[in-house]
Each structure stands twice: as structure tokens, then as C-alpha cells.
Copies of this chain bind each other. A is one copy, B any other.
Amino acid sequence: MAGKDGKTSATKGKKKEVKKETGLGLSFKKDENFGEWYSEVVVNGEMIEYYDISGCYILRPWAMSIWEIMETFFDAEIKKMKIKNCYFPLFVSSGVLQKEKDHIEGFAPEVAWVTKSGESELEMPIAIRPTSETVMYPYFSKWIRGHRDLPLRLNQWCNVVRWEFSNPTPFIRSREFLWQEGHTAFATKEEADTEVLEILELYRRIYEEFLAVPVIKGKKSEHEKFAGGLYTTTVEAFVPNTGRGVQGATSHCLGQNFAKMFEINFENEKGEKCMVWQNSWAYTTRTIGVMVMVHGDDKGLVLPPKVASVQVIVIPVPYKDANTQGIFDACAATVKTLNEAGFRAEADYRDNYSPGWKYSHWEMKGVPLRIEIGPKDLANNQVRAVRRDNSAKSDIPMAGLVEGVKETLDNIQQSLFDVAKQKRDACIQVVNTWDEFAEALGQKKMILAPWCDEEEVEKDVKARTKGEMGAAKSLCTPFDQPELPEGTLCFASGKPAKKWTYWGRSY
């Protein structure tokens, strides 16, 4: 396959020159300068465009389609659970916003305020929602009267604004982001507890089944829990390159704290006045950033097949004197067959780019599988398939196209998860003492340590690890607890340990 080989040099060692020639490629390497690599890969992969207001980013179709695929999954799942979508206003009056003290303390510094319309000053400044607890709960109070009004289970897909000043990062930390936020009220704590975990499982599935990113389910510490809530559960991801944990998505039990503040009461079956139990839960466009950080490589994005808007890119590899029309027809037939079988496949017929340029282009965009069709493939009634994740090549006979592609995509999806899990697991370090902890932190580990579970000790750990890289904090107490032998002491305080908890730096 001389013709094709000549053009695939991009994947065969001569990378640098080819990249220069095509104007594609990344100037930074993931292992050498992760921050710059990330900024470059989200832009060159056409997911993000930087915007002229700092901390705001444009989500281009290549990113938006991933968000939509996850949304379709999650929305259908919560509808099965009888959770209904609604839409509450973007704006919240300052009086209502400040009703729950702990809550507003957590958000106040980041709230954006509208004070003018046209040329007129507003009578009272109006806040833009950083989250919607205080927006919604006055109405929960109005709508809930008796036990038959419960459970009340609402969700909305919307934008929120948190005007943070620390390092903005596309997807991971931005001043406006997209999310879903669920807000539910129950008659009993048991029902609320159950839902917290059902939702957390959906979040796990988004990360592990869709984004192929391994996460750890657990509970946040008192210090790290949602401001004003009772307890917070989380799926925690980890980025080996930076040695930082990422709070992947959180499902909170709010207890009765907001119910008290907003007077969300109901009459139970016996005619007694009771307070509801509430949850709130959310996942955001941050999910996409975590996926990029975990799977991306020096050639660009690497998209898991389940969320890729183009799963298979078909590239004609014509050769002088070859049957060009036949090759183009075979490409069209391949796309048609795959689309009809339910795959998202496209062909790149552009005549102003070489096959080599196209290979690099679609590698940058992270398309899971490339199919090349050249004269020899045509003659042999086959296609050449090249995996994005590990560059493995195989020939698939046209007669077995659908099965071959299905198998390969399934394999890529699983393999991305397995490789990511292997790398993540290799970063997990079990420690018992402060010295071991400090050493592991220096090695950018995700640290599992026995802890006394005291808030003051967590604050102390933060203080003692302050530095250029940021302080360490607790990530989560995993539900899956290793045995804690009696007499085990806290790594930080030396007091009796109560649980194993993950620690590390985080986004």
C-alpha cells in the first residue's frame, strides 16, 4: 500500500515535519507543560474558543455535542424517576439570596450583581444565580401543603454564574457554566438518602460509562460539603499529570436546614405539621474538561466513542492512476452502511487537503476511529481501520464492516477506561504518617490516609501544605472503605482514626 503509506507518515515517526507542513499539531506536550497543552488542545480540537471576557468561554459544536449526548442520557434517566424539568429565573433578589446564612457565605464573594438597565440604576441590585436553592425554595414553600404534594422533584438545565477570580480554566473553572440542577423535597429522610445515591450512581455512569473516566464515590468532609447542606456525596476524578483531584459531580442531602429557613412544611397523614427533607444535585460542563485532561495526548483530543459526535471518520486515499471515483464511492457506501447501523460516521472528501493532513486534523479532534480507503483496500474489498487511542491498525472486510466497527468502538471505549483506571490507580498511595503524606503529596499522589474526621485537623492540613501548588485538602471519604485496624491513628493529628479518606491537591 505504497500510496497510502507515503501519506500516513504523520503517524510514522516523521511527525514533526509533517505537523509543520500541515500547520496542525500542538506546540506543548502533555507531560512537559500540562497547562499549556490543555489550553491548546481544547482550542485546536475546536471545543473551546477563548472569549474577550476573562473566565468566559465559547462552547463550539464539537464540545456542545458531547454535552448534548450526556444530557440526553441523564434527562431520560431522571424522567424515569418521575423528576420533572422546569425553569426558574436567572435573577434572584438580594433579600432571598441572603436568607440562608451558611449558604450565602459560601457563594457571596462570587455573586455577579445587575445594578443598571439601559441608562437607569435599578432600585435594588439583583443577583445572578450562582445556584438556585434560594431561587426555588420560597416556591417549594408555597406549593407544598400536604403529604400528597410530596415528593416534589424538579430539575432544570441552565447556566449559572460564579464570578471567580482564581485561575479560570476552560470547562474546569469558568465564570459562567452550563449544568443541570436537581432540587427535590421528601416527607422522610430515608427517601432523600435513597435519591442522593441514585443520582450519584447516574453521575458515576456519566463519567465511567460515557466519558471513560474512573471516579471514586464518597462523602465530602464537613469542611468541604455544600454550604448550608447536611452532607455531600461526590464522584471524584483524578488527573495523573497534575496530581490533582477533581470534584466530578455532587449529590447533596440538604437535610431540613433550607426547609427551616424557607418554611417548607407539610401536614402528614396524621395531620401533624412537619418539615420536608431536601436534596440538590448537579453536574456541569466540567465533565468535558476532565475527559480531555484524562484521555488527551500529544496528538490532540481523544474522545470516547459514546460521546463522540463523529465516531468514525472515513478518508479517501486516492493515488494517481488509481480508480479515484471507485474510492470515493466506497467511502460513501461505508458512511451510509455505518450510519444506517446507528454509528455516527462521516467522510472527509475535501480536495484541498492531503490524506496526511486529514489524519492529523481528525486526530487533533479526537475521532475514535479512522477508516482509510485506498486502491488496495478497494481491490481487496476491505477498509483499513486506525484507532485513535492506541494507533492500532487493522483491515476490516467490507462484508463485516458493521460488526468490525462495533467491536472496535466497544473495545476503544473499554480500553480508554481501563488505561485511565490503571494510571489513576498507580497514583493512589496509602499512607499512615505525616511524613509519608508529605512525601506522597510531593509525588502528586492521590493519598488514602486514616483520619480522625475533625474539621480543625483538616484546616491544619491545609495550613501546613500551603504553597505555590496550592494546599492539600480532603477529596472524599470513599464509600468503599478498606479495613481500619483498631488503634490506627490519624495521619495528621495522631488521634484515633475514624475512617480512610482521600487527600490531595485539587482543581
Which residues of A are interface residues toward B (Cβ below 8 A)?
49, 51-53, 56-61, 64-65, 67-68, 84-93, 96, 108-119, 125-126, 128, 138-139, 142-143, 148, 154, 158-159, 161, 163, 175-176, 178, 350, 352
Decide if B90 touches A176 in the complex (CB within 8 Å). Answer: yes
CA distance A115 to B51 in the complex (A): 19
- Given A51-B89, A109-B118, A115-B115, output 7 extra A-B contacts at Cβ < 8 Å: A53-B89, A87-B178, A91-B175, A108-B118, A112-B116, A112-B117, A114-B115
Sample (10) of A-B pairs whose CB atoms are under 8 Å apart: A53-B126, A58-B89, A89-B176, A90-B161, A109-B117, A110-B117, A111-B117, A117-B163, A118-B163, A148-B352
Residues of B within 8 A of A142 (CB): 49
Do the beta carbons of A52 and B96 come within 8 Å of each other?
yes
The 9 tightest CB contacts between A and B, nearest first, are A117-B163, A61-B84, A56-B89, A59-B87, A109-B118, A113-B116, A115-B115, A64-B85, A112-B114
With the chains together, A96 CA to B143 CA distance in Å?
A: 43
Return the chain B residue nearest A146 by Cβ: B352
Given A88-B58, A89-B53, A117 and B126 contact (CB-CB distance below 8 Å): no
Kindly list chain B residues whose C-beta atoms are within 8 Å of the C-beta of A52.
Answer: 93, 96, 138
Residues on B with beta carbons closer than 8 Å to the beta carbon of A154: 61
A60 cross-chain contacts in B, Cβ below 8 A? 86
By a CB distance below 8 angstroms, the chain B residues around A128 are 114
Q: How many chain copies?
A: 2
Quick one: which of B49, B65, B91 contacts A176, CB cutoff 8 A?
B91
Residues of B within 8 A of A56 (CB): 89-91
From residue A360, how far is it (CB to closest CB) to chain B in Å? Answer: 17
**A161: nearest chain-B partner, CB-CB:** B90
Let me know if A86 and B114 touch, CB within 8 A.
no
Q: CA separation between A143 and B43, bound complex, in Å?
A: 12
Is A53 within 8 A of B91, CB to CB? yes
Other-chain residue from B88, B91, B116 in contact with A125 (beta carbon distance below 8 A): B116
- CA of A126 to CA of B65 in the docked complex: distance in angstroms? 28
Q: How far is the CB of A344 from chain B (nearest CB, A)?
A: 12
Beta-carbon nearest neighbor of A124 in chain B: B53
Q: How far is the CA of A91 from the CA of B350 in the complex (A)?
A: 36
Q: A159's closest neighbor in chain B, by CB? A: B90
Q: Give A126 to B128 CA distance when docked, in angstroms.
A: 13
Q: Are A84 and B112 in contact (CB under 8 A)?
A: no
- Among the listed B86, B91, B111, B352, which residue makes an inter-chain contact with A59, where contact means beta carbons less than 8 Å apart? B86
Residues of B within 8 A of A49 (CB): 139, 142-143
A88 neighbours in B (Cβ, 8 Å): 51, 58-59
Q: What separation, in Å, do the CA atoms of A67 and B163 have in the docked complex?
A: 30
What are the residues of chain B within 8 A of A109 when measuring CB–CB? 117-119
Whose C-beta in chain B lies nearest to the C-beta of A59? B87
In contact, B51 and A148 (Cβ under 8 angstroms): no
| Most chain B beta-carbon contacts within 10 A, residue among A65, A87, A126, A163 | A87
Chain B residues within an 8 Å CB radius of A68: 85
Are B90's CB and A65's CB within 8 A?
no
* In the bound complex, CA of A115 to CA of B113 (Å): 6
Known contacts A61-B154, A86-B61, A159-B158: A53-B115 contact under CB 8 Å = no
